[in-house]
Amino acid sequence: MERSKYFITLILMFFVFNGIKASYKTDIYNAYISNNMNLWKKTIDEMNLQKPKSSDLRLELLNYQFGYIAWCIGNDKNDIAESYIEQGDINILILEKSSNNISLINSYKSAFYGYRIGLNKLKAPFIGPKSVECAKLAIKQDANNPYGYIQYANSQFYTPPVFGGSKKVALEYYKRAESLMAKNPEKIKNDWNYLSLLSMIAKAYTEIGEYENAKVYYAKTLKIEPNFLWVKNELYPNLLQKIK
């Protein structure tokens, strides 16, 4: 009888634990498509309070911090961005010692260098090369890690051409990342990262004047997620206006 109770308890713990982990991904996805950044912040703050944190949970949290920081910088919430950059830095330091996924960690290091440039453009000559090198290292360490390609693409997309940036090179690397992500259809289901990538491909096509290709990617994005408000209400209508 006792053994049966013990077994049932383990089963319940398994489903509760996995249900919690699944809900984080779901909450972040719903926050992303609806632009509900209060929910995004609430989710990462809740995750950050969990102790102890496994390497997998910390990696997941770092991914969500990475996304939230980008939104904060894009919406002039620099003080909040700095606070979450500090939290992310701690997670990176811990993961460098405890996780085997060093390629993914270097992808995030690349992004966080980029965020510091976003907060202070004067730092670009000093830490811009570090961001690029981390992205290149991530690709070298694991050629199947899409995030390394994404971060290298971001460095090309956001660097002015006079300093070596290229929207066409960015597009090339974004599309490599897309191909890698598409190999795991279950993993990209309800994944904010995949929708973000498709949006960046469409934006890159727009920047180089290939509007019809951009239109194809926005249509593809909305087919996957019709309720993605950023694309539905802003990016896609703006593109259609350009085409007119």
Share of the chain above pLDDT 90, in %: 89
pLDDT digit string, tens, across residues 66-76: 999 999 999 99
With bands split at pLDDT 50, 70 and 90, how would you rate the model's confidence at 244?
A: confident
Burial state string for 57-81 with b = 16 or more CB within 10 A and e = fewer than 16: bbbbbbbbbbbbbbbbbeeebeebb
What is the average pLDDT value for the chain, to the nearest integer? Answer: 91
Contacts of 199 (CB under 8 A, 6+ apart): 217, 218, 221, 230, 231, 235
pLDDT digit string, tens, across residues 122-144: 999 999 999 999 999 999 999 99
pLDDT value at 109 more than 80: yes
- Residue 186: half-sphere exposure toward Cβ, Cα within 13 Å: 0
Q: What is the mean pLDDT of residues 178-187?
A: 95
pLDDT value at 111 more than 50: yes
Supply the Cα-derived Rg of the chain in whole angstroms. Answer: 19
Topology of the domain comprising 23-243: 1.25.40
Number of C-beta neighbours around residue 234 at 10 A? 11
- pLDDT value for 2: 45
Nearest C-alpha neighbor of 117 from the set 70, 75, 164, 152: 70
pLDDT digit string, tens, across residues 20-62: 455 899 999 999 999 999 999 999 999 999 999 999 999 999 9
